[in-house]
């Protein structure tokens, strides 16, 4: 997992702005909203990576480090950690991007597992070529 430096790891897969409707009674953004952003970011990455649909099978690890406030721009960075026969494990970091004048802050990090699925939602094999390309990089 990330060493919590101010350096995002992986590729930028999704950005969004926290809105008033995403908050709890304390004015902080719901953890569930952040998890859904991470799920979308991971799915975008894995669908590109596996060249087809995917489904979330597990959230293996999750840490909320600092709260998100309304108006914060969140950036989700994703990085493939492991490729199996049908599954792809992805590290997902959420950073508060602020503006260019301040260093970004790591808000949340997690490890999600996705399974490559076909049009009927049945699991499908990740191709050998994709696995070899991943191992080579
Ligand atoms: C995705 C789905 C088609 C997989 O079918 P399945 O028969 O359950 O699959 P398996 O048990 O063979 O597991 C498939 C892969 O996931 C991995 N996996 C299963 N459970 C896991 C877990 N808890 N953590 C990490 N990996 C897991 C398996 O190791 C396997 O990986 P591999 O093929 O790379 O070796 C099926 O589970 C499904 O439809 N789940 C619901 C998905 C969904 O709706 N997600 C959204 C939730 S809101």
Tell me the pLDDT of the chain averaged across its residues.
Answer: 93
Question: Is there a domain that residue 64 lies in?
Answer: yes
The whole-angstrom distance between residue 9's C-alpha and the CA centroid of its chain comes to 11
Instruction: Compute the distance between CA of residue 131 and CA of residue 117 in angstroms, rounded to an integer.
Output: 16
Full domain range(s) for residue 73: 11-136
Which one of 62, 115, 116, 128 would you pick to mutate in the ligand 1 pocket, going by the greatest count of ligand atoms within 8 A of its CB? 115
Question: Is there a domain that residue 2 lies in?
Answer: no
Question: Is there a domain that residue 100 lies in?
Answer: yes
Torsion angle in degrees (nearest 10) through CA of 130, 52, 82, 79: 100
CA-to-CA dists, residue 34 to 86, 88, 96, 117, 131, angstroms = 26, 21, 11, 24, 29
Cβ(52)–Cβ(46) below 8 Å: no
Question: Is there a domain that residue 6 lies in?
Answer: no
Residue found by looking up tokens 């990085």 in the block: 79
Question: Is there a domain that residue 99 lies in?
Answer: yes
Going by pLDDT thresholds of 50, 70 and 90, the confidence category of residue 99 is low
**CATH number, domain at 86?**
3.10.129.10
Number of domains in the chain: 1
Digit-coded pLDDT (tens) for 35-94: 999 999 999 999 999 999 999 999 999 999 999 999 999 999 999 999 999 999 999 999
Question: Is there a domain that residue 124 lies in?
Answer: yes
Ligand 1 binding pocket (C-beta < 6 A) is 55-58, 60, 84-87, 113, 115, 117, 121-123
Question: What pLDDT was estimated at residue 23?
Answer: 95
Question: Is there a domain that residue 69 lies in?
Answer: yes
């Amino acid at each position: 997992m990330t060493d919590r430096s101010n350096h995002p790891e992986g590729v930028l897969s999704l950005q969004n702005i926290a809105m008033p409707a995403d908050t709890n009674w304390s004015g902080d953004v719901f953890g569930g909203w952040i998890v859904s952003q991470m799920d979308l970011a991971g799915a975008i990455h894995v669908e590109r990576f596996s060249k087809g649909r995917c489904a979330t099978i597990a959230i293996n690890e999750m840490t909320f480090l600092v709260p998100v406030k309304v108006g914060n721009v969140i950036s989700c960075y994703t990085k493939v950690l492991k490729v199996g026969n049908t599954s792809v494990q992805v590290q997902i970091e959420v950073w508060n991007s602020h503006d260019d004048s301040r260093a970004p802050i790591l808000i949340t990090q997690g490890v999600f597992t996705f399974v490559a699925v076909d049009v009927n939602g049945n699991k499908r094999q990740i191709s050998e070529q994709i696995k070899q390309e991943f191992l080579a990089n």
